[in-house]
Amino acid sequence: MVDIKMFDNREQLIDALSQFVLNELKSGIENRGGASMLLSGGTTPGPLYEKMSNAELDWKKVWFAPTDERWVEPDHQDSNELLIRKTLLIKNAKDANYIGLKSIGNIPEEGMDATEQRLSELPLPLDIVLLGMGEDGHFASLFPNLPDTKIAMDENCKTLCHPIKRGESDVDRMTISYNGILQSRQVVILFFGSKKLDVLETAAKGANQNLPISYLLAQDGVPVSLYWAE
């Protein structure tokens, strides 16, 4: 259930994707009284969020949470929450509900229960999950060949979130678990460039622990759409 949508340029992609996302959120509000979405971090979705923020929607009935977060304060320059608040939770979308992953404690393990409790406020199943992907095949903070990734992607992982440690060279993170991502009506992967397209083509050949995204493409429970432009 993988559908790839390719565009001549990024502007066309953002126009099409924003319309799709807004229609899905509107449908959730009209049919279920509220809508929920997980948001990718990083700079790639910034233009999408800015475009969404201008839309006329009953934003008070929309819940957002990030797919992952560095364990830093929400106003830190590396925080996904800061990016989302600056690009999406402004203008018309300023009244949307936001659930951050950074909670109490100096390390994610200390705050996991508090974060999990926060996430219980999300209307499930999610209407849509927006993901990015790295050239190593990671999505959210599910990086290849990490002990924490193995736990967070295990089918027996019952929590919506899980701590991720990559080593001393990188700050600790909290990620939505694989099962948490699959508690959605659909997944969208937004990515640019030929290198990442090559990675997706390799990942589409079958589940491979060296490319976490491959497991998402191999599952058949939730539809996955790929939005790509050079």
Per residue in 191-214, pLDDT (tens digit) is 999 999 999 999 999 999 899 999
pTM, whole model, 2 decimals?
0.97
pLDDT of residue 169 exceeding 90, the answer is no
Tell me the average pLDDT across 113-137.
97
Token duo for residue 18: 């924003």
The CA-to-CA distance between both ends of the chain, in Å, stands at: 23
> Helix, strand, or coil here: 92?
helix
The CA R_g of the chain, rounded to the nearest whole Å, is 16
Q: What is the pLDDT of residues 15-54, one digit of tens each?
A: 999 999 999 999 999 999 999 999 999 899 999 999 999 9
Produce one character per residue of 155-190: b if its CB has 16 or more CB atoms within 10 Å, e if not: eebebbbbbbbeeeeeebbbbbbbbbbbbbebbbbb
- The b/e string for 5-25 (b: 16+ C-beta within 10 A; e otherwise) is eebeebeebbeebbebbbebb
Angstrom distance (rounded) from CA 22 to CA 51: 10
Burial of residue 213 (number of CB atoms within 10 Å: 0-12, 13-18, 19+): buried
Domains of the chain and CATH, by start: 2-139+182-229 (3.40.50.1360)
Contact 172, 78 (CB under 8 A): no
